[in-house]
């Protein structure tokens, strides 16, 4: 089966199971109807669910049967946290975006105050969901610590801070990689790490999986930079051409479109190489299929 078909089949099997309980679960854990509506609005506004899907794919690859009865909230906690980051990123004080996933952003719909609270609610509910389960206490603790590190001041928040500080400053490519690893890559790294924690795989066996995750995270950001240049707002569901207008550091800005595309191809190869180091008994085809998300032919030489 071609990689893109394998990924599509996996998404079709798992997306309904991940999405169906979301609205009711958020409402049940929220004490204000308007706040719940604002939180649900952004979580249910579409999205690829790429991060929880990566967690399920890692669990599937490592071997244990995925039990959504006990694992659903811990798996979907990452989607809550990711959505909080998008709501806050769109705020007037940050990127001031009016469109997300083809719909008005949260602050346009509910106002900046309620949008800020919706993000706060999703952030804290994510950690509640990591422990609202019958999983072993040590597994819960590892998930909580790993997500806090990925999302906090040594991970995503640090990357966001660097992004703000570096506008109109020409960053070296090595510094841009650090920014991307924190801002975008940290949560994708955690998505795979969460699968390894839930599977209770010994940490001595984690390295190839996490190298794959880091390559996927960098490829995701490079591809996002490319799409900002070559896509239309209707294709992306958000404003395009903003990075250049705001003098942000991007791969196309530093390397040109063709150079950025070559960096994307090389990064994908690094991830594939990491998977190839796993024992032959491990079926890595599902994880490798995630690289089919990137269309390296979008850029014409």
The predicted-structure confidence for 175-188, as pLDDT tens digits, reads as follows 999 999 999 999 99
In a domain, 300, yes or no: no
Distance CA 211, CA 215 (A): 6
Distance CA 190, CA 211 (A): 12
The predicted-structure confidence for 105-145, as pLDDT tens digits, reads as follows 999 999 999 999 999 999 999 999 999 888 999 999 999 99
State the average pLDDT for the chain. 92
With a cut of 60, say whether residue 257 has pLDDT above it. Answer: yes
301 pLDDT band, cuts 50/70/90, is: very low
Provide the CATH number for the domain around residue 116: 1.10.600.10
Percent of the chain at pLDDT exceeding 70:
95
In a domain, 236, yes or no: yes
In a domain, 213, yes or no: yes
In a domain, 299, yes or no: no
The total number of structural domains that make up the chain: 1
In a domain, 189, yes or no: yes
In a domain, 90, yes or no: yes
In the numeric block, which tokens belong to residue 92?
């007037």
Cα–Cα distances in angstroms (integers) from residue 238 to residues 96, 228, 241, 295, in the given order = 12, 9, 10, 19
Note down the domain range covering 138. Answer: 3-293
In a domain, 152, yes or no: yes
In a domain, 271, yes or no: yes
């Amino acid at each position: 089966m071609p990689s893109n078909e394998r990924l599509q089949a996996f998404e079709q099997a798992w997306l309904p199971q991940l999405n169906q309980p979301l609205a009711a679960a958020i409402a049940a854990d929220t004490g204000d109807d308007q706040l719940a509506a604002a939180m649900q609005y952004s979580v249910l506004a579409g999205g690829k669910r790429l991060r929880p899907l990566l967690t399920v794919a890692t669990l599937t690859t490592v071997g244990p049967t995925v039990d959504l009865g006990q694992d659903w909230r811990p798996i979907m906690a990452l989607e809550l946290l990711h959505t909080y980051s998008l709501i806050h990123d769109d705020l007037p004080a940050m990127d001031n975006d009016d469109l997300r996933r083809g719909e008005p952003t949260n602050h346009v719909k509910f106002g900046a105050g309620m949008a800020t609270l919706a993000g706060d609610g999703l952030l804290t509910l994510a950690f509640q969901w990591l422990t609202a389960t019958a999983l072993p206490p040590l597994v819960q603790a590892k998930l909580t610590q790993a997500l806090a590190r990925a999302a906090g001041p040594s991970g995503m928040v640090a990357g966001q801070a660097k992004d703000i500080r570096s506008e109109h400053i020409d960053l070296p490519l090595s510094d841009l990689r650090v920014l991307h690893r924190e801002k975008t890559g940290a949560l994708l790294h955690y998505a795979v790490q969460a699968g390894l924690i839930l599977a209770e795989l010994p940490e001595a066996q984690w390295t190839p999986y996490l190298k794959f995750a880091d390559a996927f995270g960098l490829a995701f950001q490079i591809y996002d930079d490319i799409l900002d240049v070559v896509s239309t707002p209707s294709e992306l569901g958000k404003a395009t051409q903003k990075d250049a207008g705001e003098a942000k550091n991007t791969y196309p800005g530093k390397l040109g479109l063709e150079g950025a595309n070559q960096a994307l191809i090389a990064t994908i190869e690094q991830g594939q190489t990491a998977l190839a180091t796993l024992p032959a008994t491990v079926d890595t085809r599902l994880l490798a299929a995630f690289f089919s998300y990137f269309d390296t032919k979008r850029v014409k030489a």
